[in-house]
C-alpha cells in the first residue's frame, strides 16, 4: 500500500502512452476514448496498491495489455479487458459496474479472469477450480485464455520480487499448465519464454550454465549463421524469391529438454543452431509446393539428415502450426535446423490462434484449432466433480507430440503420441468406443490397447453386446476417451440400479410389502452390501437373485458386523481386548467387535475402496485373506493368508490384524498371472486364446510365451473377477490337448 508519488505518476503515464502506441487495431477515436476510460478506472481502483517489487500496481495491467495487443495481436476489447482484469478481485468495483460502462462482452471476459475463493469444496484445489472457471468462459470467448497467458507471462517476467518458495510454486504451475496451453494455442513465442523463465526459477544452476555456454560462443555462432546463410540467400535471389532469413539459437528450455531426455551433453544437442527462411509466396503455385521447392534449393547446398525432415505443411499440427523443417550439415560440421515458412505461416506460428482471425479462410489449420476447442467444450459440458481430476484430463489435451492416423476411408485423425486404438475409436464416436472389441491396424488384428504410430490405418471391430469396462481407463491416453468410458460406466450403473430397484419393489409388492428402512436393515447385511444403491445395482446386474427374498425377510438377523459398515468408519483404534473404538463420519464414537470380519465390497461406481491390495501377494476375490490395519491411514491392507509378509506381520503386529471377507465380485476385474507349459503344436496358441477370450470372456493384458525343442512355456496376465473364475479358466486350459501344466503365479511382485 502507498500513495503514488509524482515520479510514479510520470512512469505510469509513460508506460500507458507506450502501450497505446502499439494499438494498431483501434477503429478510431471512439475506441481510443474507451481505452483511456478503462485505464483511468483501473488507475483509480489500484491507486494505493503496489506490487511486491514496490512499483505501482497499475503497471501490471498496463504490461498485460501491451502483451495482449503487441505480442499476441488482439484488439480493443481484449486490451480493455486486460486493463480491468484485476479490479473485481482486488477492489470494490463489481462486474455489473464494468458491464454498465464497458459492455457485456468485457464483463464476461473479466468474469472469466477473476479468481474465486470460498465458494468451492474446501478439499478441492483452488487453483484447479480457478482454471476450470476460466475455461468455462472459453465456450464463449477464447480471448479469456489469451489474456490469462499474458497475465502469467508478465508475472513470470517479474518473479524476482517474490520469495523462493513462491517462485518455485508459480514456475511449476507454468511449466505444467500454462506453457503447454500456449503451445496448444500456437503461441510459440509465449510458450518459449514461459518455458525458459520456468527453468530459470526451478533449476537456476542449469539455466545459468546453458545461458553461459550460449554466451561464450555467441560471436562464433553468429559467424557460423552468416556463413551458412549466404549460399542459401544467393540461390534464393537467383530464383527471384522474396524472402527474409534469420538465425537464432535453440531456446534454453529446448536445449535442457534434449540434454535430459536424450542424456547428451550440451555439445551433442542436434541442431543447436536454427535458421528460418520466411518468404512471400507468388503466383498460382500452392504454398506447400513453394516450400518444397525452397527445400530442394537448400538441399542442393547442404546435405540433409534424412530422419530429421518434418513436414507440417502437408499436415499442420493440431495447433495450426505450418512449416517445413529440415536438419542439414553446415560448413563447419555442425547440424543446423532450417525452417521454411510463408509470411502467413510465420505469423500464425508466432501469434497462434489470434492470427487465425486474419487468415481464417486459408485452409485446414483453423479446423484443427476448432476441433480442439470443441473437445474442451465437451469436457466442460460434463466436468468432473473433482477439480484435480478435471485438471489432469485437461492436461491430457495439451499434448506436444502428435501422430496422424487414417480411417479406412482415408480420413486423417490427429491424436496425442502413445494413443491406442481405443483412443482412436472414441475419437470417432463414443458409441464406437463403447462397443469396440478389437481393431485392424494396417489390416492386422490387434488388441484395444495397441499403441498407434503415425501413418497407421485403423479399422475398429465392434460388437453390439460389448460394453465399456473399467480396465479400459488404463488403455487410453486422451481425455475424451477417459471421460467417455467413465460416463458409459456411470450410465450402465445407473441403468442397473434403476432396474434393480424396480425388480425388488415388484417382488415386495407380490408379498404385499412396501420398501422400508426395517426391510433394508435385514437385506443389506444378508446380501453383504452397504447401501440400497449397491443392493439395487447387484440385483440389476444379476449378481443377487431374489428367489429367497421371503426366507431372508423371515430371518431374525442380528448380524454381528452390520454396524461396522452402516457407520462408514473413518478410523479404527484397537484396545486391549477384542474390541476397537471406531470413529464414524459424524464423529460418533462406537465400540466394535474386531473379531467380526472386515468386508471387502465392490465399488463399480468408481468410489474409493475401503481397502488396498498388498502388492507382495496380489490377492483376488475368493482367496483366503487377512487384513492389516494401517496405523496412519484410514484403510485396511489385504494380504493372502499364506503370504510370507502377512505371516511376519502376525508375529510382530498381531494387534493390527483383523479378519477379512470378500463380498461377491462380478463387475470389477483383477489382474492375475498364470504360468503355462505344454507341447508346441500347430494352432495351440490360437486354442488357448480362444478359450480365454471367446468362451470365458476374459481379457488378456499380456502374453509372454516362447517355444524351444518342441516345448512352449511362459506366462499370461489376465483380468478375472475372482478366484473361482480363475480356477475355471485353468481347468479349461488343462483340457486342451497338448497343454501339460497350468498354475497360478502366487508371487506378483514382478507384475507391471
Catalytic residues: 89-90
Cell digits of residue 507: 417382488
CB neighbour burial string for 366-402, b if at least 16 within 10 angstroms, e if fewer: bebbeebbebbeebbeebbeebeebbebbebbbbeeb
- Read off the C-alpha cell for 482: 477417459
CA distances 320 to 183, 288, 354, 368, 436, Å, are: 10, 15, 11, 6, 31
**What separation in angstroms does the CA of 555 have from each of 230, 325, 519, 546?**
95, 78, 11, 15
109 and 137 in contact (C-beta within 8 Å)? yes
Is the Cβ–Cβ distance between 688 and 733 less than 8 Å?
A: yes
Phi and psi angles of residue 459, each rounded to the nearest 5 degrees, phi first:
-125, 125
3-state class percentages of the chain: helix first, strand second, coil last, to nearest 5: 50, 20, 35
Bridge partners (DSSP) listed for residue 662:
600
Whole-angstrom CA distances from 568 to 11, 227, 538, 564 are 62, 75, 20, 7
Half-sphere exposure of 739 (CA within 13 A, CB side): 24
Q: How far is 194 from 254, CA to CA, in rounded Å?
A: 12
Secondary structure in 3-state letters for 160-222? HHCCHHHHHHHHHHHHHHHHHHHHHCCCHHHHHHHHHHHHHHHCHHHHHHHHHHHHHCHHHHH
- How far is residue 349's CA from residue 355's CA, in Å, rounded to a whole number? 9
Q: Which of 23, 30, 44 is nearest to 103 (CA)?
A: 30
- Between CA 86 and CA 97, with CA 92 as vertex, the angle to 5 degrees is 80
Q: Could you tell me how far CA 353 lies from the centroid of its own chain? A: 22
Torsion of CA 195, 201, 204, 206, to 10 degrees: -30
List CB contacts of 617: < 8 A, sequence separation 6 or more: 639, 640, 643, 645, 646, 746, 747, 748
Instruction: Put the strands of the sheet holding 458-462 in their side by side order.
Output: 444-446, 436-441, 458-462
Q: How far apart are CA 240 and CA 277, in angstroms?
A: 14
Q: For residue 384, what is its C-alpha cell?
A: 468432473
Q: How far apart are CA 626 and CA 637, in angstroms?
A: 8
CA distance linking residue 660 with residue 4, whole number of Å: 70
Which 8-state DSSP code applies to residue 308?
Answer: G
C-alpha cell at 503: 425388480
241: left (phi over 0), alpha (psi -120 to 50) or beta: beta
Dihedral sign, CA of 296, 297, 301, 302?
negative
C-alpha cell at 472: 479400459
Nearest to 278 by CA among 331, 320, 214, 229: 229
Q: How far apart are CA 485 and CA 480, in angstroms?
A: 9
DSSP 584-600: -TT--EEEEETTS-EEE
Amino acid at each position: 500500500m502507498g500513495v503514488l508519488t509524482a515520479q510514479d505518476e510520470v512512469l505510469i503515464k509513460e508506460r500507458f502512452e507506450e502501450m497505446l502506441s502499439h494499438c494498431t487495431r483501434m477503429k478510431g477515436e471512439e475506441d481510443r476514448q474507451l481505452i483511456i476510460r478503462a485505464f483511468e478506472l483501473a488507475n483509480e481502483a489500484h491507486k494505493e496498491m503496489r506490487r511486491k517489487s514496490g512499483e505501482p500496481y497499475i503497471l501490471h495491467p498496463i504490461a498485460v495489455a501491451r502483451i495482449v495487443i503487441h505480442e499476441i495481436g488482439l484488439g480493443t476489447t481484449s486490451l480493455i479487458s486486460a486493463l480491468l482484469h484485476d479490479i473485481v478481485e482486488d477492489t470494490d468495483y463489481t462486474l455489473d459496474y464494468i458491464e454498465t460502462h464497458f459492455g457485456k462482452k468485457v464483463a464476461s471476459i473479466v468474469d472469466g479472469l477473476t479468481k474465486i475463493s470460498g465458494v468451492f469444496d474446501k478439499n478441492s484445489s483452488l487453483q484447479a477450480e480457478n482454471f476450470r472457471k476460466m475455461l468455462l468462459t472459453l465456450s464463449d470467448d477464447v480471448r479469456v485464455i489469451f489474456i490469462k497467458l499474458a497475465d502469467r507471462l508478465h508475472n513470470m517476467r517479474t518473479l524476482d520480487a517474490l520469495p523462493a518458495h513462491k517462485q518455485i510454486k508459480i514456475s511449476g504451475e507454468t511449466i505444467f499448465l500454462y506453457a503447454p496451453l500456449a503451445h496448444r494455442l500456437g503461441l510459440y513465442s509465449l510458450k518459449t519464454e514461459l518455458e525458459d523463465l520456468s527453468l530459470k526459477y526451478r533449476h537456476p544452476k542449469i539455466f545459468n550454465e546453458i545461458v553461459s555456454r550460449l554466451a561464450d560462443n555467441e560471436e562464433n555462432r553468429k559467424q557460423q549463421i552468416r556463413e551458412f546463410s549466404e549460399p542459401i540467400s544467393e540461390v534464393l535471389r537467383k530464383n527471384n524469391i522474396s524472402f527474409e532469413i534469420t538465425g537464432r539459437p535453440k531456446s534454453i528450455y529446448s536445449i535442457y529438454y534434449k540434454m535430459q531426455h536424450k542424456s547428451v551433453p550440451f555439445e551433442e544437442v542436434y541442431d543447436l543452431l536454427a535458421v528460418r527462411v520466411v518468404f512471400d509466396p507468388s503466383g498460382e503455385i500452392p504454398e506447400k509446393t513453394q516450400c518444397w521447392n525452397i527445400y530442394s534449393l537448400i538441399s542442393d547446398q547442404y546435405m540433409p539428415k534424412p530422419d530429421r525432415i518434418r513436414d507440417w505443411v502437408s499436415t499442420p499440427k493440431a495447433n495450426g502450426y505450418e512449416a517445413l523443417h529440415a536438419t542439414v550439415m553446415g560448413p563447419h560440421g555442425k547440424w543446423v535446423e532450417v525452417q521454411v515458412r510463408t509470411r502467413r505461416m510465420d505469423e500464425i506460428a508466432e501469434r497462434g490462434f489470434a492470427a487465425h482471425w486474419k487468415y481464417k479462410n486459408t485452409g485446414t489449420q483453423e479446423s484443427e484449432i476448432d476441433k480442439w476447442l470443441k473437445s474442451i467444450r465437451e469436457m466442460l459440458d460434463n466436468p468432473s466433480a473433482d477439480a484435480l481430476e478435471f485438471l489432469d484430463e485437461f492436461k491430457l489435451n495439451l499434448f506436444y507430440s502428435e501422430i496422424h492416423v487414417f480411417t479406412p476411408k482415408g480420413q486423417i485423425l490427429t491424436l496425442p503420441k502413445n494413443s491406442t486404438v481405443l483412443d482412436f475409436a472414441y475419437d470417432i464416436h463414443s458409441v464406437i468406443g463403447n462397443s469396440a472389441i478389437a481393431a485392424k491396424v494396417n489390416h492386422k488384428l490387434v488388441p484395444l490397447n495397441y499403441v498407434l504410430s503415425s501413418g497407421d490405418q485403423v479399422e475398429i471391430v465392434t460388437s453390439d453386446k460389448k460394453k465399456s469396462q473399467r480396465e479400459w481407463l488404463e488403455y487410453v491416453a486422451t481425455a475424451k476417451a477417459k471421460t467417455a468410458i467413465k460416463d458409459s460406466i456411470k450410465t450402465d450403473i445407473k441403468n442397473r440400479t434403476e432396474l434393480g430397484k424396480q425388480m425388488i419393489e415388484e417382488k415386495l409388492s407380490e408379498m404385499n410389502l412396501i420398501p422400508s428402512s426395517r426391510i433394508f436393515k435385514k437385506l443389506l447385511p444378508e446380501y453383504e452390501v452397504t447401501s440400497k444403491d449397491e443392493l439395487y445395482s447387484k440385483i440389476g446386474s444379476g449378481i443377487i437373485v431374489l428367489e429367497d427374498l421371503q426366507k431372508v425377510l423371515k430371518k431374525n438377523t442380528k448380524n454381528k458386523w452390520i454396524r461396522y459398515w452402516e457407520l462408514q468408519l473413518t478410523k479404527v483404534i484397537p484396545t486391549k481386548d477384542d474390541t476397537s473404538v471406531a470413529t464414524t463420519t459424524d464423529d460418533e464414537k462406537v465400540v466394535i467387535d474386531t473379531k467380526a470380519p472386515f468386508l471387502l465390497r465392490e465399488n463399480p461406481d468408481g468410489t474409493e475402496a475401503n481397502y488396498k491390495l498388498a502388492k507382495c501377494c496380489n490377492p483376488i476375490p475368493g482367496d483366503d485373506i487377512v487384513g492389516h490395519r494401517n496405523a496412519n491411514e484410514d484403510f485396511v491392507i489385504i494380504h493372502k493368508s499364506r503370504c510370507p509378509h502377512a505371516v511376519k506381520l502376525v508375529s510382530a503386529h498381531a494387534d493390527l490384524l483383523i479378519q477379512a471377507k470378500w463380498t461377491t465380485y462380478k463387475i470389477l476385474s483383477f489382474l492375475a498371472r498364470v504360468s503355462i507349459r505344454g507341447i508346441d503344436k500347430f494352432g495351440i496358441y490360437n486354442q488357448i486364446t480362444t478359450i480365454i477370450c471367446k468362451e470365458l470372456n476374459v481379457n488378456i493384458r499380456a502374453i509372454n510365451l516362447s517355444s524351444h525343442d518342441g516345448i512352449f512355456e511362459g506366462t499370461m496376465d489376465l483380468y478375472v473377477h475372482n478366484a473361482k473364475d480363475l480356477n475355471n479358466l485353468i481347468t479349461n486350459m488343462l483340457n486342451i490337448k497338448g497343454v501339460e501344466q497350468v498354475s497360478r503365479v502366487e508371487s506378483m511382485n514382478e507384475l507391471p
